[in-house]
Amino acid sequence: MSIGSAKGATFSLLPPENASGNFVKVVQRVPVRITLDETPEQPLQLGLSVEVEVTTERATP
């Protein structure tokens, strides 16, 4: 048994069919504004999971 270096495509969620060598996955962060439909009884805590609905209409300034 031997251990060798892995290719980047091995650990990618969607590796390309013709991957040769390593590649860098580029992540784009987009700022969003979250509004709650109802005020929660308890304060929100860090690390909670949520289900969100994305509204793509433009807001009026």
Model pTM score: 0.31
Cα–Cα distance between 56 and 54 in angstroms, integer? 6
**SS3 label, residue 23:** coil
- The amino acid sitting at 49 is S
Q: What is the pLDDT of residues 3-57, one digit of tens each?
A: 555 554 555 555 556 556 666 777 788 887 778 888 888 888 888 887 877 777 7
Write down the H helix ranges in 1-61. none
